[in-house]
A = this chain, B = another copy of it.
Amino acid sequence: MTHDSQLNGSVIAGGAGFIGPTLVGRLLDEGRHVFVFDNFTRGKAAYLDKYAGSGRLTIRRTELASRNDCESALASAAAICNVDEVWHLAANSDIPAGIEDPDIDFTSTFQTTFELLRAMQPLGIRDFHFASSSAVYGDFGSQTLHEGLGPLFPISNYGAMKLASEAQASAAAERFLRRLNIFRFPNVVGIPATHGVILDFIHKLAATPDELHVLGDGSQQKSYLHVSDLVAAMLVIRARERSSKTELVNIGASDAGVTVKWIAEQVVLRVNPSARIVFGSGSKGWIGDVPRFSYSSEKMHSYGWAPAMGSEAAVLRAIDEIARQESI
């Protein structure tokens, strides 16, 4: 294939996972060529099947934490068209596993960031959109989590390596990036679901239809955002004119959220209304979990963005979508 300098290209690292497919659709709609690099740990090429007809989607199995693999993937994209941005969605998505073995987040959550940034510079790819996480905040108790908080003490290796990635991207912005957008993701729900509390509950109910065992006492309360609202928010930030090179925003629902107990009840209602819910004890589901937090989206709101769905609506829609995905 010869190089098409009139065609703009976007790389989506980890683009075959949960968030990627929605973003792929939006970027293809812009007329871009989209390159999805994914190691398919959780992601699946099948999630992108519906875009196969576009002729502008390239999917490549890539270990982004591997220097050679990462460099050659980015170079192969730059050989095809004018690649001007990288969306970095690749990360470990099993937080408890990462707490047992810190190597997991070191490699999958941080080294992927490090190698992507390192490979971008010589290719002149200068816009970086990074999927950070509310997990960078750690446990601030009942304090509302806003972007200006500090110092940050993440309580999981996942949160630590997301914060490390923010920091490395920030240094790269001083060095060569034109634009750096850091999105601190909330709890996101929707399809294709690869992990998370809703999928977990549906799997458990499929295995034992009469009983749903919940880790912890169910009092954990969090806000949830639907993936369609999340992707819309990122595109708002990307399109927004501004004077600063770096932008960092929380993206989230502005409500107080819902409890795990409420989610369990809604899943049971949808899947098997006669099932009994059995709770564990303690307000934390596992080490590294934050029992309750409220997440400030004031900054995003000041930019004119608001989610179409609050936490309840997002979770209810996701339960229905995931139940269908699992053929229930």
Which residues on A are within 8 Å of B, measured CB to CB? 99, 102-103, 106, 110, 114, 117-118, 136, 138, 147-157, 159-161, 163-164, 166-168, 170-171, 173-175, 182, 246, 248, 287-288
Contact = CB atoms under 8 A, between A and B. Distances in A.
Given A102-B118, A148-B150, A167 B171 contact: no
A118 to B, nearest CB: 6
Contacts of A156: 171, 174
Contacts of A159: 167, 171
A288 B154 CA distance: 26
A114 to B, nearest CB: 6
Contact of A152 (B99, B138, B167, B168): B167
Given A157-B168, A163-B164, A173-B153, A114 B138 contact: no
Nearest to A67: B103
A171 B160 contact: yes
Nearest to A139: B174
Given A149-B150, A175-B99, A175-B287, A164 B168 contact: yes
B114 A153 contact: no
B155 A174 contact: yes
A160 B167 contact: yes
Greatest chain B CB density within 10 A among A148, A156, A164 is at A164
A312 to B, nearest CB: 29
Nearest to A174: B155
B147 A148 contact: no
A150 B151 contact: yes
Contacts of A151: 147-148, 150, 166, 182, 248
A149 B138 CA distance: 16
Nearest to A99: B175
Nearest to A136: B167
Contacts of A174: 138, 155-156, 287-288
Contacts of A138: 170, 174
Closest 8 CB pairs of A and B: A150-B150, A164-B164, A160-B167, A155-B174, A153-B170, A160-B171, A163-B167, A160-B168
Among A118, A153, A166, A168, which residue has the most Cβ atoms of chain B within 10 A?
A153
A166 B161 CA distance: 10
Contacts of A288: 171, 174
A68 to B, nearest CB: 14
A150 to B, nearest CB: 3
A163 B248 CA distance: 16
Contacts of A148: 149-151
Contacts of A171: 99, 102, 154-157, 159-160, 288
